[in-house]
Chain A
Amino acid sequence: MCDKAIVLELKEAYALAIKEGGEVVRIKRKNDLAVGDQIYILEEDLYYKEKTNRVISFPAARKMRDSFTRHGSNQKTLSRIAGMAAMIVLCISLFLLPQMTLTAYAQASFDGDACIQVEMDQNYRIIHAFSPDNSVSPEELTGLEGKYISEIRSELLRFYGTEDILIGYAFKSSNQDQGALRQELYGLFAGYNTIWLFGSTEDIQASAERNISLGKYIAGKELSNDAIDDVLEDLELAELLRILQADSKWLEIPEFKEALEDRLESILEDKDDHENDTDDDGIIGKSDTDNQEDDDYDDEHQDVRESEMPQNQPEFEKGSEAEDDFDNNPDVQSNSDTIIVDTDASEIAESDQNGVSDGSFEEEYDAETED
């Protein structure tokens, strides 16, 4: 798959480009690259920054799986496998990551009927094979050590039945060739239903600390983040503040912080809307006065008001639909001059043509001010 992109900015290790369609991506630096260049980019040209514990979204993971599997797997399978891991991650702070010394170049875990994890060197030879949940004894796994990852398919498959297999993989250090490792692993479970999750160096450490497989840990984070989003969405500001009061570390969780900011923003927007009702270019809105007498006065003196219209009266073509709409709606005239003035007649005509009244927003605003 190829895309066209415009180079927007050059950084030391990568460049930022905008693809046709508007997506901004990071791409690898190559020779003679300059801002403004219009280039073709391929999937392998994309650059991933170090902290990419969400590099593979579920749709992308499904794409990879579908190319090697007969049946479609889905989030239910992932939920079943990673259910317990999600609970563990939710209960433990994400920031207490231990410093562990890693000797492997990359790690990969395979969760299904059994749970096996392998550490590999740069040539993808297995340094160490173990079972994080002890579903396979160490003696059964020693036969894997010393072999290349691509050679262990038959030995590995005897531990797995027909269940879906969750494959988690990550590098010890960043900026490694993810594609090459993926390629090595693909052949292991060809013909099986697989779910792929790519993690970071920190995920290797964190999963080891929690004695769960790398794949389960990454899956747990994915699910827990989605779960956090769903839960936080329903919480009121007071509840969020109570949670924060109980443990200030919650503020370090991006989803929580974002939920809190959203609540505050909503409150500020409500406050602004209320202030605009009372002080919008000096015009007092109906929501404040709610004065029937004013309505009557306006209706009665409509002709007079027309002749005294401020100079920023919008200019419509005589006899145009827009003019008729304006003239036939005294409430709009009297309460929202500033809004109408800003609206271009051509926009009104165009939006009416499209079946959406451009005045709908203003009308709603007016309806609010009349309350």
Chain B
Amino acid sequence: MVDGDGVSIEKLNDLVEQHMAFLIRTVSDLTGRYISVEHDDEFSIALSAFAEAVERYQPERGAFLPFARLVVRSRVQTYLKQKNRHREEISLEALEEAGEHIAAPENESHDDLQDEIHLFQQELSAFGLSLDVLADESPRHQDTRTRAIEIAHRSSQEPQIVRKTYQKKKLPVRAVAKLCAVSEKIVKGSRHFILATMLVFVKPFPILIRWIEGARCIHVR
């Protein structure tokens, strides 16, 4: 599929993927906040600015990235200025009277997630854990983490293990190692992470489960 100007959509998508980190960094530096995965107006502006830069780029005039940065920053800054200028209170009723249909804000899923997070923290606390501990002890290597998640998932399906865990308020390392046919050392090495992940599966916390099992977004600089 090729648009009229000769830059294929697939190629553009590839370029966006390759420069995702660059785009995120550029917009984040301008706005001073993180880019939202769900919806981010400034990031949308940056994406279209990037497409514009791709189309307008001429190699003989210099490197692509500085040029793209210029275009993206320019468009986003323009948008921000306009946004600040026109920021005013508008009542939903007035908009609806004018015929504008305003979709209900998608707070429900966000509220659900916040509830899950809150309950998850309570569960952790009952086991003497905290998110800070998990941050210190989460396996850094992906293979180790994947294996730990598998162990947690398997353990969460075993009623004996679950019962023992809640009874003792800690992971029964030996039983888990035996169940999952791994060495105790492996379980011990990630015990808090395995326990926390197991709690997510046991309760269950569906949004967190999807997140834990979700694919990783990897974009090369």
Binding site for B on A (CB under 8 A): 1-4, 6, 8-9, 16, 18-27, 30-33, 35-42, 44-45, 57, 59-60, 233, 262, 265-266, 269-270, 272-273, 339, 342-343, 347, 361, 364-365
Contacts and interface: CB of A to CB of B under 8 A. Distances in A.
A21 B36 contact: no
A40 B170 CA distance: 33
Interface string B24-66: 1100100111111110000000000000000000000000000
B188 interface: yes
B174 interface: yes
Given A22-B145, A31-B31, A38-B38, A1 B113 contact: no
B84 interface: no
A272 B142 CA distance: 34
Nearest to B208: A18
A19 B33 CA distance: 17
B220 interface: yes
The secondary-structure label for the interface of chain A is mixed
Interface of B: 20-21, 24-25, 28, 31-38, 110-111, 113-114, 117, 120-121, 131-132, 134-135, 138-142, 145-146, 149, 157-160, 164, 168, 170, 172-175, 178-179, 184-185, 188, 193, 197, 208, 211-212, 214-221
Contacts of A266: 173-174, 184
B217 A4 contact: yes
A31 B131 contact: no
Contacts of A19: 216
Contact of A18 (B20, B28, B174, B211): B211
Contact of A6 (B157, B175, B211): B211
A36 B175 contact: no
Contacts of A342: 159-160
B113 A42 contact: no
A25 B34 contact: no
Given A1-B221, A20-B216, A42-B24, A269 B172 contact: yes
A266 B20 CA distance: 48
A38 B36 contact: yes
B216 A59 contact: no
B179 A2 contact: no
A23 B138 contact: yes
A347 B110 contact: no
A279 B156 CA distance: 24
A21 B212 CA distance: 4
A40 B135 contact: no
A37 B184 CA distance: 36
A60 B142 CA distance: 13
A287 to B, nearest CB: 16
Contact of B131 (A8, A40, A57, A343): A8
A361 B212 contact: no
B198 to A, nearest CB: 12
Contacts of A37: 34, 36
Contact of A36 (B24, B114, B215): B114
A37 B135 CA distance: 18
B140 A42 contact: no
Contact of A31 (B32, B174, B188, B216): B32
B117 A8 contact: yes
Contacts of A25: 135, 138
Contacts of A20: 211-212, 214-217
B188 A1 contact: no
**Which 5 A-B pairs rank lowest in CB-CB distance, beginning with the nearest?**
A39-B34, A24-B134, A38-B37, A22-B212, A31-B33
Given A2-B21, A265-B173, 18 more contacts: A1-B218, A2-B20, A2-B24, A6-B117, A20-B216, A21-B145, A22-B138, A22-B193, A30-B33, A32-B33, A36-B111, A37-B34, A40-B24, A40-B217, A59-B141, A269-B174, A342-B160, A361-B179
A45 B170 CA distance: 32
A16 B134 CA distance: 9
Contacts of B145: 21-23
A159 B58 CA distance: 46
Contacts of B185: 233
B141 A39 contact: no
A84 B137 CA distance: 29
B117 A361 contact: no
A26 B141 CA distance: 16
A9 B36 contact: no
A269 B135 contact: no
A30 B110 contact: no
B105 to A, nearest CB: 14
